[in-house]
Chain A
């Protein structure tokens, strides 16, 4: 257990130290989310009708969850690259904890996700977003997003362990993330969806997490506190399923 913690910290540090040296990643974590905020707020926003007085209040929780999902690609691609270049072989030949490479990677993702979230919140505050609840509730929303982002990192860690190329990581990830993001309440109210899509959106964890955050930040119409408990359950469920199978794949990983 002590080895797991110390090895995880070493790997997390490795993933953070290399970040500023890859400018393309920095763009992915800063410029890209801002672009999405501006796109939805000023291009689509005017045509989207919500029960919120201000579309920015509706949008920001949704776009943070979308950003967590899209940011996950970096995790999958990074692990796929480690595998392809033989780094995972090196790690597996070392007397280190078997879970540390993935645990360190997902721990580092908490830092990047939080950083992206701050960029989005500041952008949001500039374009008219505001927290309309208590400080404690606002903080609870931030923590919920961090926890959900952490759980979702493990999904992408698993993806990185099973794909055979960066291209397949991209297409497989996209197939998973695209419907989760867009067939949800992240950008638009789901009432106008056809029945089938509305049914999917209702159980979609993205909808539930977005609605939970809308409750915690805005006490938004039509979203109750139950979303918070369901969001926590989804977060725990994703973690319980994906962390063990990702580590299991890591133990069998081989250079392809």
Chain B
């Protein structure tokens, strides 16, 4: 495609009335890679996907997908992308086979070619047994797989998945992750939005963190984790009442203030060596009963908290 970038975004802004959903976003996704767009509800993830899939015109800025402009080349662009949204957009009264055949024909294929392609996809997504049943009889995970299959009908070089696993149970989520991993191993460029840090960590080559319509960090999972540096000491107390005593005892041990979160006392520490011994000595001297104590690498949750000042999944829609 001559660019090396399958998706290129420059200064995209979009407001809905007073709300600035996107506030000047710049982004580049090299061909054949997976970008995880990570952010809480309302951060602007879906708006960006809608702009890049031509569903929404931006107020400012420009964006190219596969070298085609999202505004001026919208029509040609639609033939080169696949989109699966958060809604599992399939017709519930049509069977799996009918749904995929319909999408194929709307991409311009003839009936028999569309049907053949639908059969291939149903087999690949393990839906062959359910092919003749209306989609309303499918489980949540099956519907998402059908939706994903529908986005792949035309074998698009660039794929957008907007929160593909939101609302799925853990087993269905892992199943869908495996499907997506197989998919991108074939060279498809993927932009994936998610509020699950674990999901971005597992699927994405690069992660872009978005909040209030702005990109606030970009890098690999390891780079982002390295940004907050060091490790996290987590202490599980025997009794929650001793939390203030534990905080007082651990104050000054690490770089940050000790905090209580989910019943755990957490401290960010830069230097690993000697930390555990020092922590045990301090807590023991203060008479605090300890149930468990670990020193771990930071997760993307810690990163998100450090970058935005709020937890990733807590904010309501």
Residues of A within 8 A of B (CB): 3, 6-7, 10, 13-14, 17-18, 21-22, 85-87, 89-96, 100, 254-255
Cβ contact within 8 Å between A93 and B87: no
Q: Whose C-beta in chain A lies nearest to the C-beta of B79?
A: A95
Cβ contact within 8 Å between A94 and B106: yes
Cβ contact within 8 Å between B78 and A89: no
Cβ contact within 8 Å between B106 and A255: no
Q: Which one, B91-99, B178-186, B267-275, B295-303, is touching chain A?
A: B91-99
Cβ contact within 8 Å between A90 and B56: no
Cβ contact within 8 Å between A93 and B94: no
In the complex, what distance in Å separates the CA atom of A95 from the CA atom of B103?
Answer: 10
Nearest-neighbour CB distance to chain B for A233, whole angstroms, equals 35
Cβ contact within 8 Å between A21 and B85: no
Cβ contact within 8 Å between A14 and B107: no
B248 in the interface (beta carbon within 8 A): no
| 18 CB-based A-B contacts, threshold 8 Å | A6-B105, A10-B105, A14-B91, A18-B91, A21-B134, A85-B87, A86-B87, A87-B89, A89-B50, A89-B87, A90-B85, A90-B89, A93-B78, A94-B106, A94-B107, A95-B75, A96-B106, A255-B85
Nearest-neighbour CB distance to chain B for A4, whole angstroms, equals 12
Chain B residues within 8 Å of A89, by CB: 50, 55, 83, 85, 87, 89
B12 in the interface (beta carbon within 8 A): no
Q: How many residue pairs at the A-B interface have CB separations less than 8 Å?
A: 71
Nearest 3 Cβ contacts at the A-B interface:
A86-B87, A18-B93, A86-B89
Task: Pick from A17, A90, A91: contact of B98, CB below 8 A.
Answer: A17
Task: Pick from A85, A92, A94: contact of B103, CB below 8 A.
Answer: A94
Cβ contact within 8 Å between B85 and A86: yes
B190 in the interface (beta carbon within 8 A): no
Cβ contact within 8 Å between A22 and B106: no
B53 in the interface (beta carbon within 8 A): yes
Q: Whose C-beta in chain B lies nearest to the C-beta of A92?
A: B55
Cβ contact within 8 Å between B83 and A90: yes
Nearest-neighbour CB distance to chain B for A75, whole angstroms, equals 15
Chain A residues within 8 Å of B88, by CB: 86
Cβ contact within 8 Å between B78 and A94: yes
Nearest-neighbour CB distance to chain A for B88, whole angstroms, equals 7
Cβ contact within 8 Å between A10 and B134: no
Considering only residues 60-113 of chain B, those with a C-beta below 8 Å from chain A are: 75-76, 78-79, 81, 83, 85-94, 98, 102-103, 105-108
When A93-B54, A254-B55 are in contact, do A10 and B102 touch as well, CB less than 8 Å?
Answer: yes
In the complex, what distance in Å separates the CA atom of A100 from the CA atom of B76?
Answer: 17
B150 in the interface (beta carbon within 8 A): yes
Cβ contact within 8 Å between B78 and A95: yes
Q: Whose C-beta in chain A lies nearest to the C-beta of B78?
A: A95
Q: Whose C-beta in chain B lies nearest to the C-beta of A93?
A: B83
In the complex, what distance in Å separates the CA atom of A100 from the CA atom of B105?
Answer: 13
In the complex, what distance in Å separates the CA atom of A3 from the CA atom of B109?
Answer: 11
Task: Pick from B55, B56, B108: contact of A3, CB below 8 A.
Answer: B108
Chain A residues within 8 Å of B53, by CB: 93
When A7-B106, A89-B83 are in contact, do A17 and B55 touch as well, CB less than 8 Å?
Answer: no
Chain A residues within 8 Å of B98, by CB: 14, 17
Q: Whose C-beta in chain A lies nearest to the C-beta of B92?
A: A85
Chain B residues within 8 Å of A92, by CB: 54-55
Chain B residues within 8 Å of A13, by CB: 102
Chain B residues within 8 Å of A93, by CB: 53-55, 78, 81, 83
In the complex, what distance in Å separates the CA atom of A153 from the CA atom of B91?
Answer: 21
In the complex, what distance in Å separates the CA atom of A100 from the CA atom of B56?
Answer: 19
